[in-house]
Amino acid sequence: MTKNIPPINSKIPHLPFGDHQDSPFYGRDIISVKQFNREHLDYIFDVAHEMYEMVARVGSFDLLKGKILASLFYEPSTRTSSSFTSAMERLGGSVIPINNVSYSSVTKGESLPDTVRTLEAYADVIVLRHPEVGSSALAAKYARKPIINAGDGIGEHPTQALLDLFTIHEELGQVDGLTVTLMGDLKYGRTVHSLARLLTLYDVKLNYVSPDLLSFPSELFDEIAATGISQASYQSLSPVLADTDVLYVTRVQKERFEDPVNHEALKGAYVVTTDTMTDAKEKMIVMHPLPRVWEIDMAVDEDPRAAYFRQMAYGQYIRMALLAMVLGKA
């Protein structure tokens, strides 16, 4: 009776019946977009699309029944944490939410490795957001269960980049051949760091629009240049707007600023308005990982090219796909 149950000190992450253990993501951590190739992306998008259809048809279903996700957030979150929760619950699983670490033993001085080792004793997969670059990789070193990076400081936000790319794919039909303009805080915005890296798998042209102080990191620029992707930096949107297929806007990450005055000085410099939309292509999309503060005027929301709320909704299906995949059910 007990022979299929691994011993409690086993190194095997999870072995229930009927798993797809041959899946390339089974039992794997998701730490960086560098882990993915185009074949993986096609597969993830197919699964996400199926998840979308299933949710539209039946709302929720029991693919991950009996599985538990620990959702551990050391930084604020609305969309990422709630879409991981809804993803898990729509798949019939359940969630241990630690969205306010000040009520956990972290306040008593518990280290990240110990917190992760605790949660994996109760859960099958851990989603982690933490202010330090490399925190998810560190957690993954200690954890036997899959760790999914939900943002590590200014480092990466791989699940956001996957949903961003899925959005482009769903909205514009293909990614190859597009001109993608990233605008705003390109220095501290982790979503653009992950997205730009992921876009190197496609034949795209990348434009970076930001004030000098918030420009795209030079090491990342060099990393992307080495892939042969064409990139150019600008201080204003006007030279590239007319050619842009995807305008990806980001918030100034004021929580990352050492000096709050710097943030105030930059506020308002890069705002998308209805005038911006007049000069843009008829078939382009405006994206934003959200939360929006002042970067996109609310009047733009009525424009069908404003894709940011649809983008946010796509996140649930991508996260359903990822959870099913790492737990060997897709």
Q: CA–CA separation, 213 vs 293, rounded Å?
A: 19
Q: Which of 169, 190, 193, 263 binds ligand NCD (CB under 6 A)?
A: 190
Among 14, 90, 157, 329, which residue sits at the site for ligand NCD (rule: CB under 6 A)? 157
* Residue 63 CA: distances (Å) to CA of 191, 226, 315, 317, 328: 29, 41, 18, 14, 10
Cβ neighbours, 10 Å, residue 26: 18
Nearest distance, CB of residue 289 and ligand NCD, angstroms: 4
Look at residue 49 and give its three-state secondary structure: helix
Looking at the Cβ atoms of 115 and 253, the one nearer to ligand NCD is 253
Q: Catalytic residue, from 79, 254, 256, 292: name it.
A: 79
Among 13, 27, 93, 151, binds ligand NCD (CB under 6 A): 151
Q: Which is it for strands 246-249 and 285-287: parallel, antiparallel or unpaired? A: parallel
The answer to whether 278 is a known catalytic residue is no
| 130 touches ligand NCD (CB under 6 A) | no
C-beta separation of 288 from 308 below 8 A: yes
Q: Is 19 exposed, middle or buried (0-12, 13-18, 19+ CB in 10 A)?
A: middle
Question: Can residue 319 be called a binding residue for ligand NCD (CB under 6 A)?
Answer: no
Comparison of 83 and 200: residue with beta carbon closer to ligand NCD: 83
- Is residue 244 part of the annotated active site? The answer reads no
Mark residues 65-104: x for contact with ligand NCD by CB under 6 A, - for none: --------------xx------------------------
Rounded to a whole number of angstroms, the distance between the first and last alpha carbons of the chain is: 27
Least separation in angstroms between residue 227's CB and ligand NCD is: 23
Cβ closest to ligand NCD, residue 63 vs residue 307: 307
Are 148 and 326 contacting, i.e. CB atoms less than 8 angstroms apart? yes
Reduced to 3 states, what is the DSSP secondary structure of residue 233? Answer: strand
Alpha-carbon gap, residue 283 to 177, rounded angstroms: 14
Q: Which of residues 241-260 bind ligand NCD (CB under 6 A)?
A: 251, 253
Candidates 191, 244, 276, 316: give the one binding ligand NCD (CB under 6 A): 191
The DSSP 8-state label assigned to residue 236 in this structure reads S
Residue 20, helix vs strand vs coil: coil
Single residue of 64, 182, 204, 290 touching ligand NCD by CB under 6 A: 290
Question: Active site residue: 157, 205, 251, 263, which one?
Answer: 157
79 in active site: yes
160 binds ligand NCD (CB under 6 A): yes
Given the residues 14, 67, 90, 129, select the one marked as catalytic. 129
The answer to the question of residue 289 lying near ligand NCD (CB under 6 A) is yes
62 Cβ contact partners less than 8 Å away, ≥ 6 residues apart:
91, 92
Please tell me the distance from the alpha carbon of residue 327 to that of residue 125, in angstroms, as a whole number. Answer: 8
| 187 scored as a contact of ligand NCD (CB under 6 A) | no
* Alpha-carbon span 101 to 311, nearest angstrom: 28
**Among the listed residues 49, 73, 256, the one whose alpha carbon sits nearest the alpha carbon of residue 148:** 73
Q: Is 200 in the site for ligand NCD (CB under 6 A)?
A: no
Complex with ligand NCD: residue 163 or 277, whichever CB lies closer: 163
Residues that bind ligand NCD (CB under 6 A): 79-80, 151, 157, 160, 190-191, 251, 253, 289-290
- Catalytic residue numbers? 79-80, 108, 129, 157
